[in-house]
């Protein structure tokens, strides 16, 4: 029996263009320490960069608005977005501060897988925004978190075999993706904060006058010294929850998606009909 993957958000040309634009700006925002020449004046403004790059939040909101307006995101998809974002935001504080145990990640992987890359990007960004409000984690780092989580969840929707792969093969694929993406998310967030350490740790801090290989070595040392254990905990937690709860959660999401029939317009009966 053939299956057709349901997409709550269909990405059109405007949405794709907006995602490419914010992706390009995001790469520049995360990677400027390795993109700016050593003799440039960027390093002199390192303390201002978090606030300047916080303007990414405006672009993220624009991407979400473009995606919603072009795809015709209906009330059923909005309702599912709200439920999943609220659930993810509520899961984030669980285990916070304990070896990187963050169960929110596995839910976003499975949701992105079932509902597609467009819905996944919106869900990842909105969930991180809601969790920041819930935990008081609002600051110049929040746009970076929103963008990284949007990429993380969108990537799950881009994995192959969405319409055909099921069972253990799909779980193994999602577990492997969740493991790697958990490390990738942690590395991106390290990259967002590493250039602003100043002289707190001279051997591993960003040196605006050093060559790219030297700064890359410093960054790798920074990751190993500060976040490797946390990222490993997040990755292992994501794998364990995906393998243990994945079948039930995937069935529930797919059942809810079929019943919602996102691509069927909502109609209302006239009074007295």
Joined together, the tokens standing for residue 270 give: 């006239």
**Boundaries of domain holding 156:** 13-40+47-261
> Domain for residue 3, yes or no?
no
Distances (CA, A) of 20 to 23, 27, 33, 50, 64: 5, 10, 21, 22, 13
Confidence of residue 250 (pLDDT cuts 50, 70, 90): very high
Q: What is the pLDDT of residue 49?
A: 56
> Domain for residue 2, yes or no?
no
User: Averaged over 201-224, what is the pLDDT?
Assistant: 81
Joined together, the tokens standing for residue 130 give: 């809601």
Q: Is the pLDDT of residue 123 over 60?
A: yes
Name which residue leads in pLDDT, 226 or 107.
Answer: 107
Joined together, the tokens standing for residue 57 give: 């939040």
Task: Let me know: does 182 contact 197? Beta carbons within 8 Å.
Answer: no
Give percent above pLDDT 90 in the chain.
21
Domains of the chain: total: 1
Name which residue leads in pLDDT, 29 or 86.
Answer: 86
> Domain for residue 7, yes or no?
no
> Domain for residue 76, yes or no?
yes
SS3 track for 163-195: CCCCCHHHHHHHHHHHHHHHHHHHHHHHHHHHH
CATH number at residue 154: 1.10.1760.20
> Domain for residue 36, yes or no?
yes
The CA angle 205-29-155, to the nearest 5 degrees, is: 110
Give percent above pLDDT 70 in the chain.
73
Mean of per-residue pLDDT scores for the chain: 79
How far is the first Cα of the chain from the last one, in angstroms, to the nearest whole number?
A: 38
Name which residue leads in pLDDT, 152 or 206.
Answer: 152
Task: Let me know: does 190 contact 227? Beta carbons within 8 Å.
Answer: yes
CA distance 270 to 68: 27
> Over the stretch 137-192, which tens digit does the pLDDT of each residue have?
777 778 888 889 999 999 999 999 877 888 899 999 999 999 999 999 989 988 88
> Over the stretch 18-27, which tens digit does the pLDDT of each residue have?
788 888 878 8
């Amino acid at each position: 029996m053939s299956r057709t993957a349901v997409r709550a958000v269909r990405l059109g040309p405007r949405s794709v263009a907006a995602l490419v634009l914010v992706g390009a700006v995001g790469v520049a925002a995360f990677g400027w320490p390795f993109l700016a020449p050593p003799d440039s004046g960027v390093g002199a403004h390192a303390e201002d960069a978090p606030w300047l790059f916080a303007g990414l939040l405006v672009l993220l909101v624009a991407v979400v608005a473009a995606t919603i307006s072009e795809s015709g995101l209906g009330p059923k998809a909005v309702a599912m977005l709200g439920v999943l974002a609220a659930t993810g935001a509520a899961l984030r504080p669980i285990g916070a501060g304990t070896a990187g145990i963050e169960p929110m990640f596995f839910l976003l992987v499975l949701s992105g897988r079932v509902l597609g890359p467009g819905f996944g990007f919106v869900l990842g960004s909105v969930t991180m925004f809601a969790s920041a409000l819930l935990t008081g984690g609002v600051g110049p780092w929040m746009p970076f978190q929103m963008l990284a989580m949007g990429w993380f969840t969108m990537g799950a929707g881009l994995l192959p075999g969405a319409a055909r792969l099921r069972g253990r093969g799909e779980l193994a694929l999602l577990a492997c993706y969740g493991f790697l993406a958990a490390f990738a998310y942690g590395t991106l967030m390290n990259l967002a904060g590493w250039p602003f350490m100043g002289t707190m740790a001279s051997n591993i801090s960003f040196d605006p006058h050093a060559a790219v290989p030297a700064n890359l070595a410093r960054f790798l040392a920074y990751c190993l010294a500060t976040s490797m254990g946390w990222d490993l905990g997040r990755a292992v937690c994501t794998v364990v929850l995906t393998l243990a709860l994945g079948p039930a959660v995937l069935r529930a999401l797919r059942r809810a998606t079929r019943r919602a029939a996102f691509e069927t317009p909502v109609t209302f009966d006239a009074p007295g009909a």
